[in-house]
């Protein structure tokens, strides 16, 4: 028996194929496990992207949306973005100031192809996501402070509702020169809110500013707020009277909570150019935006202005237009159309200002 075993050990004949195939088993197993692992990594990456997109999407739903409906929207968006498995809304909160925080998760039992050799039929894949959404502009209140110039002009605020493609006018300020002939030129400005009634726009007057100019021999004992000008030997005094409708009105109060886009347009028929827009990079540099009546930097050339971010939350912002009588860049003192705009911020369905936190 010992001689037989020794002979077998010393033998140099016979086939190596059985031994070769036996050695392939662990090699195939390792390669197979690697393939399944790579699939799991890719699946997890796809799930993370899908969950992030779905989590961002549910922050644009109205605050009246129920948690079950928001959960269904999360799952639907998750699947629509090629997410595998089940997405779960862990938490969703809207604070008193409109800040939104949300936490979500998703899990999937990924079937394996090669790990079944080791009796591993599925591999658990899990991801999490979190978002924080800051309050955004939901209301803007416009009030004229001073308008001048020999050219009549009109400024309008346009808004595009969520899901719509056409912008509609929301607010209008009209200015007409009084023709007195003073160097700067003043006149009457009327501010209107615009509502749509049966397809027709209806203007409602909320402020009227009437500026009257006279010549005087000196600038003594002038009324508060009087505007003085001098041309040669002539002295001019302009006084402006504001009338609000109703009397306690703060100005043109515009609800922009349902607007996905906003822009301002200044129409100056006698100007060059005749149309200025905040969302037109070729004319937006004629708009000034600042923190006081004198600190108003000019918008840089070639920019598109985001009105949502240009209006401060819970504070008054200051804006002005150069209507075309002076070349730009120019100091704000050369502008002709001054107004204040006060912003109110709260939860808003717009997707901007939403940041991933996890």
Counting beta carbons within 10 angstroms of the beta carbon of residue 355, is it exposed (0 to 12), middle (13 to 18) or buried (19 or more)? Answer: exposed
128 and 148 assigned to the same domain: no
Q: How confident is the model at residue 294 (pLDDT cuts 50, 70, 90)?
A: confident
* pLDDT beyond 50 at 2: no
119 and 169 assigned to the same domain: no
User: Final residue of a domain: which of 83, 114, 133?
Assistant: 133
Give the pTM. 0.80
User: Final residue of a domain: which of 74, 100, 133?
Assistant: 133
- Token digits for 222? 């002038």
Q: What is the pLDDT of residue 163?
A: 85
23 and 77 assigned to the same domain: yes
Is 356 inside any structural domain? no
211 and 336 assigned to the same domain: yes
pLDDT per position as a tens digit, 191-210 = 999 998 877 899 999 999 99
User: Final residue of a domain: which of 111, 133, 155?
Assistant: 133
SS3 109: strand
Length of the chain: 358
8 Å CB contact between 167 and 258 = no
Q: What is the pLDDT of residue 118?
A: 64
94 and 222 assigned to the same domain: no
126 and 146 assigned to the same domain: no
Residue 257, domain extent: 137-346
Q: Which helix (H) or strand (E) holds 304?
A: none
> What does the alpha-carbon distance between residue 343 and residue 284 come to, in Å, rounded to a whole number?
21
227 and 296 assigned to the same domain: yes
Is 2 inside any structural domain? no
171 and 316 assigned to the same domain: yes
In angstroms, the Cα distances linking 77 to 56, 71, 131 are: 10, 10, 16
Kindly state the percentage of the chain with pLDDT values over 70.
Answer: 89
Is 105 inside any structural domain? yes
**Three-state helix/strand/coil letters over 46-59:** HHHHHHHHHHHHHC
Is 225 inside any structural domain? yes
Q: Which helix (H) or strand (E) holds 269?
A: none
Domain count of the fold of the chain: 2
- 23-56 exposure pattern, b = at least 16 Cβ within 10 A, e = fewer: eeeeeeeeebbeebeebbeebbebbbebbbbbbb
Angle formed by the axes of helices 67-80 and 17-58, nearest 10°: 130
Q: What is the pLDDT of residue 110?
A: 86
Q: What is the pLDDT of residue 122?
A: 83
What are the beta bridge partners of residue 168? Answer: 159
313 and 232 assigned to the same domain: yes
91 and 225 assigned to the same domain: no
pLDDT per position as a tens digit, 40-99 = 889 899 999 999 999 999 999 998 999 999 999 999 999 999 999 999 999 999 999 999
* pLDDT beyond 60 at 142: yes
Q: What is the pLDDT of residue 14?
A: 53
250 and 319 assigned to the same domain: yes
**187: number of Cβ within 10 Å:** 23
Separate counts of helices (H) and strands (E) for the chain: 4, 17
Is 10 inside any structural domain? no
Is 3 inside any structural domain? no
Q: How confident is the model at residue 239 (pLDDT cuts 50, 70, 90)?
A: very high
Is 126 inside any structural domain? yes
Pairing assessment for the beta strands 234-244 and 227-231 based on DSSP bridges: antiparallel
Q: What is the pLDDT of residue 5?
A: 46
- Least confident range from 2-6, 142-146, 238-242: namely 2-6
- Least confident range from 9-18, 153-162, 250-259, 285-294: namely 9-18
Q: What is the pLDDT of residue 324?
A: 84
Is 56 inside any structural domain? yes
Q: What is the pLDDT of residue 184?
A: 93
219 and 306 assigned to the same domain: yes
Contacts of residue 17, Cβ cutoff 8 Å, sequence gap at least 6: none
SS3 341: strand
């Amino acid at each position: 028996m010992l001689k037989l075993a020794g002979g077998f050990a010393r033998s140099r004949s016979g086939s190596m194929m059985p031994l070769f195939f036996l050695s392939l088993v662990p090699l195939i197993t390792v390669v197979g496990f690697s393939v399944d692992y790579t699939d799991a990594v890719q699946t997890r990456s796809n799930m993370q992207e899908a969950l992030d997109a779905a989590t961002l999407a549910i922050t644009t739903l109205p605050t009246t949306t129920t948690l079950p409906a928001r959960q269904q929207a999360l799952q639907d968006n998750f699947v629509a973005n090629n997410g595998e498995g089940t997405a779960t809304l862990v938490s969703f909160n809207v604070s008193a100031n409109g800040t939104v925080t949300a936490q979500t998760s998703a899990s999937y039992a990924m079937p394996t192809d090669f790990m079944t050799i080791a009796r591993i039929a599925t591999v658990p894949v899990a991801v999490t996501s979190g978002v924080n959404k800051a309050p955004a502009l939901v209301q803007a209140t416009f009030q004229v402070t001073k308008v001048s110039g020999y050219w009549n002009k009109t400024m309008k605020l346009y808004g595009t509702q969520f899901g719509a493609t056409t912008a509609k006018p929301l607010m209008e300020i009209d200015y007409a020169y009084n023709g007195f002939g003073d160097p700067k030129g003043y006149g009457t400005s009327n501010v209107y809110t615009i509502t749509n009634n049966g397809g027709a726009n209806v203007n409602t007057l909320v402020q009227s500013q009437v500026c009257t100019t006279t010549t005087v021999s000196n600038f003594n004992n002038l009324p508060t707020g009087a505007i003085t000008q001098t041309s040669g030997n002539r002295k001019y005094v302009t006084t402006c009277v504001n009338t609000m409708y109703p009397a306690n009105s703060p100005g043109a109060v515009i609800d922009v909570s349902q607007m996905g886009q906003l822009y301002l347009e200044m129409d100056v028929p006698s100007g060059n150019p005749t149309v200025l827009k905040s969302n037109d990079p070729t004319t937006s540099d004629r708009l000034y935006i600042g923190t006081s009546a004198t600190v108003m930097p000019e918008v840089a050339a070639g920019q598109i202005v985001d009105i949502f971010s240009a209006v401060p939350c819970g504070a008054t912002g200051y804006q002005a237009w150069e209507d075309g009588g002076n070349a730009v860049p120019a100091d704000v003192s050369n502008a002709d159309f001054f107004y204040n705009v006060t912003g109110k911020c709260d939860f808003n369905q717009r997707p901007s200002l939403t940041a991933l936190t996890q």
